[in-house]
Amino acid sequence: MTEMEWHTPWQPPLAVGILGGMGPAAGADFVRLFVQACTVHLQRQGQPVHDQAYPEHWLVQLPMPDRTQALRQDPQAATGPAQHLLQGVGRMAALGVRSVALACNTAHAWHGQLQALFPQLHVLHIARQTAEHLRAGAAHRAIVLATQGTYDSGLYDEALTGVGIVPLLPDGDGRARLMQGIYDGVKQGDMDLAARCFGEVLAPLLQRHGDVPVIMGCTEIPLALPQSPLARGAELIDPAWILAQALAGDAYGLAGVCVH
């Protein structure tokens, strides 16, 4: 990255949007990550950090039908997440946002549909942003921990293999254990159970594959996995943090630039 990229003339940031509710805790945490990414950007730009320097950003938290279940049944069902996602992005478009982040990995199965229907917006893609981040770090393999819906959609498989990175996935029992940690753990507020479930899935993968990056490919996994003793020392990659950096880059007119 050149010095010029960090010292561009100051311009008012653009309005951006965050679609949450998948689950609500992950959406709320994504706002924290976004504000943190903006703070880092301002500091690196040599700009004063004060309330008025932050972008206008809208969080829409809609009660969202289950994404994994929808992908296994009818992704376009009238009562499924597709219509809710469209409604949420539509509300933000009406508010004048220019870029949107989906605070849910599995929801990116509908990314293409959302981007096609709202061509005036930049709908960020969490798996592609993560894959580019790992490629820049010269990774060749990566463990992917995610929901069954994300595995079914091939979201990370496609993004990672597209940049020459081999995805390493848990077996069926491991995937079921991850889902237990997400649904019975994080979504129920039982972070101890979640940390146990996530750690027990990760440990044998690390033993089998060695020291490789671990993609926490569900926005609820980072809320508990880092607290597991079985994850100690692992290179944990939080796609939500990478996505938050990309959204901050869009807001400040530096699309595609990560603040690390």
CA–CA gap between residue 145 and residue 165 (Å, rounded): 15
CA-nearest of 152, 80, 59 to 109 is 152
Domain 3-126+241-251: give its CATH code: 3.40.50.1860
Specify whether the CB–CB gap between 220 and 26 falls below 8 A. Answer: yes
pLDDT in tens, 64-123: 999 999 999 999 999 999 999 999 999 999 999 999 999 999 999 999 999 999 999 999
**Overall fold of domain 127-238:** Rossmann fold (3.40.50)
Specify whether the CB–CB gap between 250 and 15 falls below 8 A. Answer: no
How do the domains of the chain map onto residue ranges?
A: 3-126+241-251, 127-238
Residue 170, both tokens: 């848990």
Q: Provide the pairing of β-strand 141-146 with 122-123.
A: unpaired
pLDDT band, residue 254 (cuts 50/70/90)? low
CA 138, 144, 149, 154 torsion: positive or negative?
A: positive
CA–CA gap between residue 180 and residue 198 (Å, rounded): 9
Helix axes 126-136, 239-251, angle to 10 degrees: 100
DSSP 206-228: HHHH-S--EEEESTTGGGTGGG-
CA–CA gap between residue 118 and residue 112 (Å, rounded): 10
Which residues have C-beta within 8 Å of that of residue 114, sequence separation ≥ 6?
A: 85, 86, 89, 100, 102, 123
pLDDT in tens, 16-35: 999 999 989 899 999 999 99
Residue 61 has pLDDT above 50, yes or no: yes
Query: For residue 51, what are the CA distances in angstroms to 41, 73, 76?
Result: 14, 45, 41
Based on DSSP, count helices (H) and strands (E) in the chain, helices before strands. Answer: 11, 8
pLDDT of residue 3: 39
Give the chain's mean pLDDT: 92
CATH fold match for the domains 3-126+241-251 and 127-238: yes
pLDDT band, residue 187 (cuts 50/70/90)? very high
